[in-house]
């Protein structure tokens, strides 16, 4: 693989179910990010990780959790999905957290019914 | 508060020039990015400005005035493939990106 991959590409989920969105990068980037993108709104940061083993909360973290066990993987978990979490989710990475260009994965389109 | 403003939508003609403006108010400033996003795809990096002035990259140029909290993206010799959304993002004092809602650019033949 080259760059960032995300899985699944799309998913329809019943409310209340648990879901993990996967993100893997092979660029050895230190920093990784999860965003959601909703129509008419800018990308909103959910959680981030400046380096393996550390994570932080972004603008809209409620209902989501992340882990960063190694450099390459940064999964996002919805513990109990709600319809307001219907969105397109993008994972991104950058060499460092300070001013480096962020590179995005292809996105996961999630629908919660 | 922190805020980034861009026009919601713009229309231009193939072969013409278009300027997309972005104004921002943030606590701290460490750089401004422009990204392009085609419908249904991920954002892709276009330019980065940290100092005042114009950065030129082929048909695309980006300008920054830190004192005015203002940037613009200039697209020359427009092509149909330039139809996309253009996202302005600012790196604030905590080095996290703050994103504008994006400007949808429609190119007409």
Express each pLDDT in B1-55 by its tens digit: 678 999 999 999 999 999 999 999 988 888 999 999 999 999 999 999 999 999 9
Query: Is B99 near chain A, with CB under 8 Å?
Result: yes
Pairing relationship of beta strands B84-91 and B97-99 according to DSSP bridges: antiparallel
Compute the mean pLDDT over every residue in chain A, rounded to the nearest whole number.
94
From chain A, pick out residues whose CB is under 8 angstroms from the CB of B98. Answer: 42
Query: Is A103 near chain B, with CB under 8 Å?
Result: yes
Q: How many Å is the maximal CA-CA distance in chain A? A: 38
pLDDT bucket at A89, cuts 50 / 70 / 90: very high
By C-alpha distance, the chain A residue nearest B88 is A42
From chain B, pick out residues whose CB is under 8 angstroms from the CB of A44. Answer: 99
- Which of A48, A103, A107 has its CB closest to that of B96? A48
Q: Distance between CA A95 and CA A71 in Å, rounded?
A: 11
Residue A71's DSSP bridge partners are: none
Query: Is A67 near chain B, with CB under 8 Å?
Result: no
| pLDDT tops 90 at residue B58 | yes
| pLDDT tops 70 at residue A99 | no
Tokens 């995300």 locate to A6
Q: Distance between CA A77 and CA A55 in Å, rounded?
A: 13
Alpha-carbon distance A20 to nearest alpha carbon in chain B (angstroms) = 20
From start to end of chain B, where are the E strands? 3-5, 9-13, 18-25, 32-37, 44-49, 53-57, 60-65, 70-75, 84-91, 97-99, 103-108
Please write down the long-range contacts of A22-26, taking CB distance under 8 Å and 24 or more positions apart.
A22/A73, A22/A75, A23/A73, A23/A74, A23/A75, A23/A76, A23/A91, A23/A105, A24/A72, A24/A73, A24/A74, A25/A72, A25/A74, A25/A91, A25/A93, A25/A103, A25/A105, A26/A1, A26/A2, A26/A72
- Which of A58, A98, A106 has its CB closest to that of B95? A98
- Which of A92, A101, A103, A105 would you mutate first to test chain B, the one with the most B CBs within 10 A? A101
Query: Euclidean distance between the first and final Cα of chain A, in Å?
Result: 32
- Which of A45, A97, A107 has its CB closest to that of B42? A107
């Amino acid at each position: 693989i080259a760059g960032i991959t995300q899985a699944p590409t799309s998913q329809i989920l019943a409310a209340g179910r648990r879901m993990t969105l996967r993100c893997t990068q092979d660029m050895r980037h230190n920093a990784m990010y999860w965003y959601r993108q909703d129509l008419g709104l800018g990308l909103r940061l959910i959680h981030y990780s400046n380096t393996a083993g550390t994570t932080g909360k972004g603008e809209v973290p409620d209902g989501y959790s992340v882990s960063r066990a190694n450099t390459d993987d940064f999964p996002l978990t919805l513990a109990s999905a709600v319809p307001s979490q219907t969105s397109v989710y993008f994972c991104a990475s950058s060499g460092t957290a300070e001013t480096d260009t962020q590179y995005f994965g292809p996105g996961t389109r999630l629908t919660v019914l | 508060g922190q805020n980034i403003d861009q026009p919601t939508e713009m229309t231009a003609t193939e072969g013409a020039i278009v300027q997309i403006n972005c104004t921002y108010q943030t606590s701290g400033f460490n750089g401004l990015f422009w990204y392009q996003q085609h419908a249904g795809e991920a954002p892709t990096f276009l330019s980065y400005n940290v100092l005042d002035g114009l950065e030129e990259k082929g048909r695309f140029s980006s300008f920054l005035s830190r004192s005015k909290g203002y940037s613009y993206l200039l697209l020359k010799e427009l092509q149909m493939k330039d139809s996309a959304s253009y996202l302005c993002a600012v790196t604030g004092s905590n080095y996290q990106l703050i994103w504008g809602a994006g400007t949808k650019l429609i190119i007409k033949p």
